[in-house]
């Protein structure tokens, strides 16, 4: 299906006007695929990552449908969007505010780590769309400050991440408070068994959409590998900064303490850098990210809290200062550059203890990262230890530390495919049910209804909308 512009998706005028102002001209593949089905009222199971334009793919049709059936009486939460991290929640909310600029629809964002008072005030004023992370939402629900009984649209973004982070029980508790009659959307970068079973509990006869990243976009990222002794990593970083004068550089460290140290050492060399990780206050994280986004901060040093979900355009360099011990994380990290098909440079440092991690990464990406020996800190010793096992970590014998959400992000395995999706990605769609009819007028894509799916929700109930052809928002 080739869609030339958003008007052909039949979105309402205020949305088209807002998109025009933002400068979106052509729908991305996931938008072109998902929006028509969502406007019809179908549930959607999407396999797509941040960077594919999925926020607009789920927000635009919801905004259209909300605008089409205006509320009577005070504002009630009609849409709940759940996502795993504060940054992603804030980003989704910001996008919605842009898209809804010409509509009488109010959105708010809710996450932990900040005072709940402003969130309470927003709730009291009334909102139509709530974008939340599960922990704080449950907290406010238990204080009876949130009423989800009028939710019509439920979105799970980065569902695999939410499950990885141990949110499954929170999600189940939240689901129990959301009406069964609703339209649901679930997006995930990967489709492990746990996601498929979650989707069975929450989606009704979903259309499945897969956005396959296009390999050419991977090529837009120039990867290189530098063998260096651990003690020389920081001077090597300074060397790169002086040699390449990167416009925007994102440096990934393994630990929070390590990131702070990199920032301090860079400052000593005359470079301003800021760190974001789980020990930083939400305000500090937002300020750093804001400055990095608007280009007033050249260097951001981060743990893996920043490796997924964050959309900062024009990052010219990603430095893997420490190699991740989970190979897929490498792919997510370097995917912070080269977004939307632009070029980008990804440099990985590998020290004398990281050979095992490097082997894991190269096995996962099925290629050897080209080695750059043309730098003053090249270490033949580190290179020779590529075959070695990583040294065992020291055991922490003290009191067990409470693991925070961001710790869990960096510790847990980041399952997931390629992050190089951008707008060049191709897509395929299939109904989650096997077999099926060919849907007329939909470019011959297969989709089916019914089948042997077990749905534990109370069935029935079409909800008619005023769109031509009506809607079939089955519950
Ligand atoms: P997302 O995957 O939602 O994080 O989107 C990735 C980036 O693509 C964001 O900066 C969006 O603003 C941008 N974007 C989304 N849809 C479009 C579009 N149709 N045209 C241009 N940019 C878009």
Question: What is the CA(111)–ligand 1 centre distance, in A?
Answer: 23
Residue of 53, 93, 96, 332 with the most ligand 1 atoms within 8 Å of its CB, for mutation: 53
Which atom of ligand 1 is found nearest the CA of 28? 19
Q: Is the pLDDT of residue 30 over 70?
A: yes
- pLDDT higher at 423 or 235: 235
Pick the CATH number of 6-210 from 2.60.120.1440, 3.40.50.300, 3.40.50.150, 3.30.1450.10: 3.40.50.300
**pLDDT the model gives residue 160:** 84
Cβ atoms within 10 Å of 400's Cβ, excluding its own: 6
The model's pTM is: 0.60
Task: Spell out which residues line ligand 1, taking CB within 6 angstroms.
Answer: 24, 26-28, 31, 50-56, 311, 313
- Nearest residue (by CA) to ligand 1, atom 16, is 53
Under CATH, which number does the domain 221-384 receive? Answer: 3.40.50.300
Question: What is the CA(50)–ligand 1 centre distance, in A?
Answer: 9
How crowded is the C-beta side of 349, counted as CA atoms within 13 Å? 28
Strand extents, DSSP E, 41-158: 44-47, 79-82, 107-110, 129-132, 153-156
Residue of 31, 55, 61, 92 with the most ligand 1 atoms within 8 Å of its CB, for mutation: 55
Residue 332 binned pLDDT confidence (cut-offs 50, 70, 90)? confident
- Nearest residue (by CA) to ligand 1, atom 18, is 24
Q: Is the pLDDT of residue 214 over 80?
A: no
**pLDDT the model gives residue 375:** 95
Question: What is the CA(229)–ligand 1 centre distance, in A?
Answer: 39
Distance (Å, whole) CA 333 – CA 308: 7
Contact status, residue 278 vs residue 255, Cβ threshold 8 Å:
no
Rounded to an integer, the average pLDDT of 167-194 is: 90
Which atom of ligand 1 is found nearest the CA of 48? 2
Question: What is the CA(313)–ligand 1 centre distance, in A?
Answer: 10
Classified as helix, coil or strand, 276 is strand
Q: Where are the domains of the chain?
A: 6-210, 221-384
Q: Is the pLDDT of residue 207 over 80?
A: yes
- Nearest residue (by CA) to ligand 1, atom 8, is 53
**pLDDT the model gives residue 134:** 96
Which atom of ligand 1 is found nearest the CA of 313? 10
Contact status, residue 181 vs residue 460, Cβ threshold 8 Å:
no
- Nearest residue (by CA) to ligand 1, atom 21, is 24
- Nearest residue (by CA) to ligand 1, atom 1, is 53
Q: What does the pLDDT look like over 79-91, one tens digit per residue?
A: 999 999 888 999 9
**pLDDT the model gives residue 376:** 96
**pLDDT the model gives residue 323:** 95
Q: What does the pLDDT look like over 251-263, one tens digit per residue?
A: 999 999 999 999 9
Helices 168-175, 193-202: axis angle to 10 degrees equals 10
For the chain, what is the mean pLDDT?
Answer: 80
6-210 and 221-384 have identical folds: yes
Chain mean position to CA 221: 19
Kind of pairing, strands 207-212 and 426-431?
A: antiparallel
Q: What does the pLDDT look like over 340-350, one tens digit per residue?
A: 556 789 999 99
Rounded to an integer, the average pLDDT of 302-311 is: 67
**pLDDT the model gives residue 104:** 95
Residue of 20, 28, 337 with the most ligand 1 atoms within 8 Å of its CB, for mutation: 28
- pLDDT higher at 294 or 146: 146
- Nearest residue (by CA) to ligand 1, atom 11, is 53
Distance (Å, whole) CA 219 – CA 363: 17
């Amino acid at each position: 299906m080739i869609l030339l512009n958003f008007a052909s998706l039949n979105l309402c005028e205020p949305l088209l006007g807002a998109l025009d102002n933002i400068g979106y001209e052509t729908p991305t593949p996931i938008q072109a695929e998902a929006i028509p089905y969502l406007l019809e009222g179908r549930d959607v199971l999407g396999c797509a990552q941040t960077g594919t334009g999925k926020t607009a793919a789920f927000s635009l049709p919801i905004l259209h449908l909300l605008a089409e059936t205006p509320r009577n009486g005070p504002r009630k939460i009609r849409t709940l969007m759940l996502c795993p991290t504060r940054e992603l929640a804030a980003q989704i909310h910001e996008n919605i505010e842009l898209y809804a600029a010409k509509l009488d629809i109010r959105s708010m964002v809710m996450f932990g780590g900040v005072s709940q008072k402003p969130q309470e005030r927003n709730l009291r004023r009334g909102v139509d769309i709530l974008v939340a992370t599960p922990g704080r939402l449950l907290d406010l629900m238990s204080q009876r400050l949130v009423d989800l009984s009028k939710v019509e649209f439920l979105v799970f973004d980065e569902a695999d991440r939410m499950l990885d982070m141990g949110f499954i029980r929170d999600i189940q508790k939240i689901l129990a408070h959301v009406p069964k009659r609703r339209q649901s959307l679930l997006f995930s970068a990967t489709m492990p068994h746990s996601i498929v079973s979650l989707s069975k509990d929450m989606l009704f006869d979903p259309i499945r959409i897969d956005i396959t990243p296009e390999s050419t976009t991977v090529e837009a990222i120039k990867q290189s590998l530098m063998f260096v002794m651990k003690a020389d990593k920081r001077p090597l970083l300074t060397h790169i900064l002086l040699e390449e004068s990167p416009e925007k550089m994102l440096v990934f460290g393994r630990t929070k303490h390590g990131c702070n140290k990199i920032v301090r050492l860079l400052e000593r060399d005359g470079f301003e850098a800021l760190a974001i990780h789980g020990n930083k206050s939400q305000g500090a994280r937002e300020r750093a990210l804001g400055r990095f986004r608007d280009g007033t901060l050249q260097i951001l040093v981060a743990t893996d809290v920043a490796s997924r979900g964050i959309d900062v355009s024009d990052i010219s360099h990603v430095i893997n200062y420490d190699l991740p011990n989970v190979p897929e994380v490498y792919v997510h990290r370097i995917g912070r550059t080269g977004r939307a098909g632009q070029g980008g440079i990804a440099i990985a440092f590998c020290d004398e203890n990281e050979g095992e991690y490097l082997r894991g990464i190269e096995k996962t990406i099925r290629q050897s990262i080209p080695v750059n020996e043309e730098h003053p800190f090249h270490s033949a010793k580190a290179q020779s230890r590529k075959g070695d096992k990583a040294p065992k970590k020291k055991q922490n014998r003290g009191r067990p530390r409470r693991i925070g959400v961001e710790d869990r992000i960096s510790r847990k395995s980041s399952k997931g495919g390629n992050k190089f999706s951008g707008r060049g990605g191709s897509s395929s769609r299939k109904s989650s049910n096997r077999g099926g009819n060919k849907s007329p007028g939909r470019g011959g894509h297969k989709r089916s209804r019914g089948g042997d799916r077990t749905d534990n929700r109370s069935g029935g109930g079409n909800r008619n909308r005023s769109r031509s052809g009506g809607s079939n928002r089955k519950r």
